[in-house]
Structure 1
Amino acid sequence: MSNAKVAFVRPPNLQKSGQWKKQGVIRCPLNIGLLASFIRERGDYDCVLVDFETTETSSITEMAEVVLAQSPRYVCMTTLTPRFPTAVRVAQEISRLDPAVTIIFGGPHVTGSPQTALYEGISYGIIGEGEQALLELLDTLEAGRDPSSVANLIYRDRNATRINDARPFVKNLDELPFPAWDLMNLDDYVDPAYFKGRHLAIFSGRGCPYDCTFCASRVTWQRKLRLRSADNVMQEIRHIVNVLGVRNLMFWDDTFAANKKRAISICNSIIEEGLDIRYTVQIRADALSDELIEALRDSGCGFAAIGVESGNERMLDNIGKRETKDRFRTAVSAMKRAGLPTIASYIIGLPGDTHETIKETMEFAMELDADQSKFMILAPYPGTRVYDIAFEKGLVDPTSFEQMEDLNYYDSVAINLSEVSDEDLIKYQDQAYEQYDAVHAS
């Protein structure tokens, strides 16, 4: 088998500003860590990882030179929509400096907008779950064969972009290797607001069975929920704690308690083994029970994040939330009684949002009074149902780099589906934080 070098690249987040930048938050590149681990184990490729969240550069050319200094035969770049324009520019500069390098794009943006993914300089794209597709593509290219039949592949056929059908998802997630943590400088990944020292992330499952109109989870995972076994999750936690020496974790599952019995089992194992970790989860309010809340608290959960989204019942119905204000009240009240810190998130500018419904959301946030509240402006990412609505209304330009870069939740409105002006949406976001901060400063 070939020992070709593959460079996995995370583009920089140029949208970091305000409090986010001030806090110095840097998350680990878990997705490309998983991909690198898989192709290294199954294909014996020589992998490196370049993280431009932690690598200081001053220009696109310098980024390209940093990547090429690794002497890769293949460059694989992950692409969230706001970072896609920068990724394209870096890819094009790499291609200009060394046309022999094969550049492969993947990630949520490519999956959500495959028809516009292959800019000049980008050799191939991969949609959906990437491990098996990337390995097959690399093996095919190394063997000198035509890759056009590789499932999940986006490729050029003369002047047309071809998008192959997606392959079935990996059935047993327990069979996948743990992330290639050895390719990263773990000390770089910090979040001073929540953790003392470095922190890492973990996926204990993939997908979400729900179908909220604003959520990009369905873009990649198609609402198909797959969970790792509790034993396999615990093996990874032990490795992170005992081998890597990291005790701060973020579970990046869309909803940690999709299987409540498994979630409680993981919590109880952490307690029984005395692992002494601090971790965070994202969870639905309707999944919370007193037993689960206590298990989370006692096993080291530093906070549970719930998506409330709106304080108006009609808006909750319209976005497919399938939860009610009373359900949120019950959940937050139970977490407060148990002493489990809560983060509640809200979306300003949902389709049809009015001055009245936005004010209801702000009032509901003050009523729930979570330990922390986040107020985000709607960002319709490609592949979501709100993006489809915006496209039908003629509000989307799939090739606009400026619009992509504005899809960042804070201080900008890229696509407005509400009945409120862009300026007022930003004002409401500022007011919501001011009101929340005023209450918690007293």
Structure 2
Amino acid sequence: MKVIFIHPHGSNFMPGVQDITTIFNIMPPLGIMSIAAWLERHNIEVEIIDCYATPLGVDDLADEVIRRRPDAVGFSTTTSAFREGYRIASAIKERDARIVTVFGGAHPCTMGAPLLDDFPAIDYLVIGEGEQTMLELAQAGFKGVESLPGIAFRRDGKGVFTSQRELIANLDDLPFPAYHLLPGFPERYTLPLFSFPTAPNTSIISSRGCPYACSYCDRSVFSRGFRFNSPEYIVEHVAMLNRDYGIRHVFFYDDLFTFDRKRVAEFCDLKAKRGLKVTYNCIARLEHVDEELLALLKRSGCWQVNFGIESGDPEVLKKHRKFYGLDEVGKKLQMVKKAGMRVKGLFMIGLPGEDEAAIRRTIDYALSLPLEEINVTKFTPFPGAPIYKTIREQGEFDENWELMNCMNFVFVPTGMTKEQLERLYNEFIRRFYHRTRIHWGYTKMLWKSPHSILVFLRHLPEILAFERKQKW
């Protein structure tokens, strides 16, 4: 039995604009790497084709798959990458109809069995966590699987869902993701520019699920529960990356790395005892931050902390996520800087209920905060998010899956226009980054993140062309 996993890219950055993300930010597809490692542990031959790192046209990719002669091909797709994944699956089926195609990931998990009614080149969907479900499918030879939990298949030509599979109780039972299956790892992969002090670097996910209920978050794969790897497992994971691949910096891509204080404290202590010279970034919620936690993070090598701030308008925040006092945010961020770590703020514009005044409050608020860097996404109502059910009541929604990547305004709140949103988005980026304090901060990166500076200079023509297109 041989399975090839494909991670489709989706040529959908912004229409008419070169996608420069594949130059400055390619992170490994950790989800399919975890499933691949689990299958390998059970003696199933596995390969991975990551279209972000090795882009190929649909026909060339299908030809490559046929050349490798798999029994099945698994696709992990977001909403924006689903149709590209389907085009690849269709091309494979045209060449060899015997190859089984299986789709998993956020979009298939959200849309469920009815997806099979409209996309005949897909044989199975994996709904929910994929490791054990994919293993049992493969062990059964992708036949007679009607009783397996966690899948959708066709019965009398119609998509049907079997039953929910129980979540993996102990994530430490899983092997480390199969980094060794990525051609060019770690050199071909990199964290976002200026978000690391050294290279090579990579990302880790050490937990699954989230107990919070923000209106815009899709929890279709791992649900609202919260499970996590033990401190011992995380330290061994970091040590393996350092020993086997020379990794010197990691990004804990968990939504809630700091949720469990005891786990964080034990991780920091174990990492120090092992003498691991690997720095890291993490994402934290403002509610968790205090001086004790920040001291732990800094002492164990934390370099940057990212915070989801989203909006500077109190009414917008109350509507879409757990509310926190905006006057407290600046104090918390200043505590992070005082502890000696960089601070990045994550914002979103175009949320239901926003108008120009609310977005301007967010822009002014962001400029008042002690942030070194921001990431601003364009609100996208994903099918698995709570807000999706009523989204058409709150504005104009163009449900074009291929553009639903948080880089396109597919939703326009009532009373606004897409042109207005684009103008405010560009103003946000321009006003934040065209400031002396920010310019000086990047100047200091000459010695804080020399690898980023070299990559930046090497690709300066692409950056300038992108800025001209964006009118920043």
Q: CA deviation at 1:19?
A: 7.6
Cα deviation, 1:408-440, whole Å, max 9, x if unaligned, reads 222x21122454211111111100000001222
Q: CA deviation at 1:23?
A: 4.4
From 426, 429, 432, the counterpart of 2:428? 432
Distance (whole Å) between structure 2 residues aligned to residue 240 and residue 31 of structure 1: 17
Matches within 5 A, 1:338-377: 338-377=339-378
Give yes or no for contact 1:286–1:327 (8 Å, CA) kept in 2.
no
Give yes or no for contact 1:350–1:418 (8 Å, CA) kept in 2.
no
Give yes or no for contact 1:350–1:378 (8 Å, CA) kept in 2.
yes
What's the TM-score, normalizing by structure 1? 0.92
Q: How many equivalent pairs are there? A: 429
- Aligned CA distance change for structure 1 residues 70 and 394 (closer, same or farther; 3 Å): farther
Distance (whole Å) between structure 2 residues aligned to residue 264 and residue 18 of structure 1: 43
Distance (whole Å) between structure 2 residues aligned to residue 19 and residue 65 of structure 1: 25
- Aligned CA distance change for structure 1 residues 221 and 395 (closer, same or farther; 3 Å): farther
Distance (whole Å) between structure 2 residues aligned to residue 262 and residue 348 of structure 1: 33
Q: CA deviation at 1:243?
A: 2.4
> Match for 1:233: what amino acid?
I
- Aligned CA distance change for structure 1 residues 83 and 141 (closer, same or farther; 3 Å): same
Give yes or no for contact 2:397–2:412 (8 Å, CA) kept in 1.
no
Cα deviation, 1:283-307, whole Å, max 9, x if unaligned, reads 1011111121122223222211110
- Aligned counterpart, 1:211: 213
Distance (whole Å) between structure 2 residues aligned to residue 137 and residue 40 of structure 1: 14
Greater CA deviation, 101-110 or 197-206?
A: 197-206
Distance (whole Å) between structure 2 residues aligned to residue 362 and residue 408 of structure 1: 22
Distance (whole Å) between structure 2 residues aligned to residue 22 and residue 315 of structure 1: 33
Matches within 5 A, 1:172-183: 172-183=170-181
The reply to whether residue 10 of structure 1 matches residue 10 of structure 2 is no
- Aligned counterpart, 2:332: 331
The reply to whether residue 386 of structure 1 matches residue 355 of structure 2 is no
- Aligned counterpart, 1:47: 46
Matches within 5 A, 1:10-409: 10-16=7-13, 20-21=20-21, 23-42=23-42, 44-57=43-56, 59-118=57-116, 119-141=119-141, 144=143, 146-184=144-182, 185-186=184-185, 187-191=187-191, 192-195=193-196, 196-216=198-218, 218-390=219-391, 403-409=400-406
Greater CA deviation, 172-181 or 7-16?
A: 7-16
- Aligned counterpart, 2:464: none
Distance (whole Å) between structure 1 residues aligned to residue 392 and residue 126 of structure 2: 23
Distance (whole Å) between structure 1 residues aligned to residue 430 and residue 74 of structure 2: 41
- Aligned CA distance change for structure 1 residues 29 and 22 (closer, same or farther; 3 Å): closer
Give unmatched runs, 5+ long, in structure 2: 441-472
Give yes or no for contact 1:207–1:253 (8 Å, CA) kept in 2.
no
Identity of aligned residues (%): 27
Provide runs of 4+ in structure 1 moved above 6 Å: none
Give unmatched runs, 5+ long, in structure 1: none
Task: Provide the aligned C-alpha RMSD in A.
Answer: 1.9
Q: CA deviation at 1:347?
A: 0.8
